[in-house]
């Protein structure tokens, strides 16, 4: 079993427990109905989506915490305590965030399970040496299916997703009529006047939702290396401004008070067409696995194309049952192995 960039590993038995940062791998594990043995932190974890699915839950009290946060405070003793069969964590993350050495990684692997996670969120000069992610979301998902021997369950997931996205794409306007978007990550703070732009067209999981709906990149692939200001944002004047990760990390009220209203109140922000037209949207991002992906795609479809997919009520929990773009009960059945 190989998950790049890690070494090949052969399991003596099917793994039953895992660790995650949480990253995309927590959501992948939950998509198979497998709760983690340990995570670094539950900060920004996509717990609210699981609570919306019947008979799907995550008992956070039963999960060991590996660190003080996703990017700090890792303690090897917590890995020992969790004693997981496999660590769905990219070891490069531990080297970057916790200053672990190859010997530290090898120590934990010899005492617990192998490290078989990889980073698919985006291309990172600091974390992945500028390399593109080796897999897209369903490529990583299939790797996990092989690890946990859940191929039939993965196939059911793939079929469910294919029907879902085909139904959405069949209702989209022609490509040349789809709007442009500037996707902002690392938080949207209009008062700072500084914005980090995420690339839409590259194989990056955090902007997958915009790509799946065929929205045009306002920056046309010319993504600035660092933060930009209002001048650069006004130069491209996108039809929409997207808060990457905002669907998960913020409530509707928080999004309005921290992003929408500050844009409207800023003398530069209010000049943007997206702000004038009320076209500020939010999607899943950093921790977006198969479950979050469905909610994120549904949310963006409604935010951008309400005439085709129904109005967006502001929160995933408030979508009327007869206006949902995927069946929650059918999805929960797949997660629980009933397919």
Check which CATH number belongs to the domain holding 70 and give it: 3.40.50
Bridging pattern class, strands 38-39 and 180-185: unpaired
- Measure the N-to-C terminal CA separation of the chain; round to a whole number of Å: 26
**194 and 61 housed in the same domain:** no
Where is average pLDDT lowest: 14-28, 129-143, 321-335? 129-143
**276 and 329 housed in the same domain:** yes
Q: What is the pLDDT of residue 11?
A: 95
The whole-number average pLDDT for the span 162-184 is: 97
* In-domain check, residue 180: yes
**31 and 144 housed in the same domain:** yes
> 242 - beta bridge partners?
183, 281
Q: Classify the phi-psi angles of 118: left when phi > 0, otherwise alpha if psi is within -120 to 50, otherwise beta.
A: beta
pTM of the model as a whole: 0.95
* In-domain check, residue 100: yes
The residue among 134, 149, 164 that closes a domain is 149
The whole-number average pLDDT for the span 234-254 is: 97
The residue among 149, 164, 186 that closes a domain is 149
Average pLDDT score over the chain = 94
**62 and 100 housed in the same domain:** yes
**71 and 194 housed in the same domain:** no
Structural domain of 297: 174-335
- Asked if 9 and 3 count as a contact pair (C-beta separation under 8 A), the reply is no
Can you tell me the distance from the alpha carbon of 233 to that of 197, in angstroms, rounded to the nearest whole number? 10
pLDDT confidence band for 124 (50 / 70 / 90): low
The whole-number average pLDDT for the span 188-200 is: 95
- Is pLDDT of 338 > 90? yes
Q: What is the pLDDT of residue 255?
A: 98
Can you tell me the distance from the alpha carbon of 291 to that of 293, in angstroms, rounded to the nearest whole number? 5
* In-domain check, residue 127: yes
* In-domain check, residue 1: no
* In-domain check, residue 200: yes
CATH number assigned to the domain comprising residue 293? 3.40.50.1980
Can you tell me the distance from the alpha carbon of 312 to that of 316, in angstroms, rounded to the nearest whole number? 9
- Asked if 74 and 41 count as a contact pair (C-beta separation under 8 A), the reply is no
- Asked if 7 and 67 count as a contact pair (C-beta separation under 8 A), the reply is no
- 42 CB burial (10 A radius; 0-12, 13-18, 19+): middle
As for how many domains the chain has, the answer is 2
* In-domain check, residue 7: no
- Residue-wise pLDDT tens digits, 214-233: 999 999 878 888 899 999 99
Can you tell me the distance from the alpha carbon of 52 to that of 77, in angstroms, rounded to the nearest whole number? 34
- Residue-wise pLDDT tens digits, 66-102: 987 767 789 999 999 999 999 999 999 899 889 999 9
Helix, strand and coil content of the chain, in percent to the nearest 5, comes to 45, 10, 45
The whole-number average pLDDT for the span 156-181 is: 98
**234 and 331 housed in the same domain:** yes
**178 and 81 housed in the same domain:** no
**135 and 182 housed in the same domain:** no
* In-domain check, residue 168: no
The residue ranking higher by pLDDT, 44 or 227, is 227
* In-domain check, residue 255: yes
pLDDT confidence band for 122 (50 / 70 / 90): low
DSSP-derived 3-state class of residue 67: coil
Please list, in sequence order, all residues whose beta carbon lies within 8 angstroms of the beta carbon of residue 12, skipping any fewer than 6 positions away.
none
- 172 CB burial (10 A radius; 0-12, 13-18, 19+): middle
**275 and 142 housed in the same domain:** no
**136 and 212 housed in the same domain:** no
**43 and 137 housed in the same domain:** yes
**120 and 195 housed in the same domain:** no
pLDDT confidence band for 249 (50 / 70 / 90): very high
The whole-number average pLDDT for the span 122-134 is: 62
Bridging pattern class, strands 64-65 and 18-20: unpaired
Distances (CA, A) of 94 to 97, 131, 133, 243: 5, 17, 17, 27
């Amino acid at each position: 079993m190989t998950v790049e960039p890690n070494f090949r590993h052969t399991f003596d038995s099917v793994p039953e427990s895992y660790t995650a940062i949480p990253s995309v791998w927590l959501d992948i594990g939950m998509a198979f109905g497998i709760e983690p043995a340990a995570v670094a932190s539950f900060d920004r974890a996509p717990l609210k989506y699981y609570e919306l699915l019947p008979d799907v839950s995550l008992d956070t009290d039963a999960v060991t915490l590996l660190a003080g946060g996703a990017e700090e405070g890792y303690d090897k003793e917590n890995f020992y305590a969790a004693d997981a069969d496999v660590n769905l964590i990219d070891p490069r993350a531990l080297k970057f965030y916790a200053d672990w050495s190859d010997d530290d990684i090898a120590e934990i692997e010899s005492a617990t399970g192998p490290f078989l996670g990889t980073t698919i969120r985006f291309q990172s000069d600091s974390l992945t040496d500028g390399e593109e992610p080796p897999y897209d979301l369903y490529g990583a998902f299939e790797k996990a299916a092989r690890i946990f021997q859940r191929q039939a369950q993965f196939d059911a997931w793939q079929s469910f997703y294919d029907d879902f996205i085909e139904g959405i794409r069949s209702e989209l306007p022609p490509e040349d009529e789809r709007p442009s978007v500037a996707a902002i990550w690392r938080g949207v703070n209009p008062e700072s006047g500084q914005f980090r732009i995420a690339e839409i067209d590259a194989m990056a999981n955090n902007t997958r939702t915009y790509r799946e709906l065929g929205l045009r990149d306002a920056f046309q692939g010319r993504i600035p290396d660092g933060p930009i200001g209002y001048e650069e944002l006004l130069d491209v004047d996108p039809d929409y401004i997207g808060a990457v990760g905002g669907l998960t990390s913020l409530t509707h009220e928080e999004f309005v008070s921290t992003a929408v209203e500050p844009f409207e109140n800023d003398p530069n922000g209010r000049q943007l067409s997206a702000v004038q037209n009320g076209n500020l949207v939010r999607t899943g991002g950093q921790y977006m696995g198969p479950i979050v992906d469905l909610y994120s795609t549904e949310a963006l479809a409604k935010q951008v194309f309400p005439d085709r997919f129904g109005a967006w009520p502001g929160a995933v929990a408030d979508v009327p049952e007869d206006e949902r773009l995927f069946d929650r009960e059918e999805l929960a059945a797949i997660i629980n192995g009933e397919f």
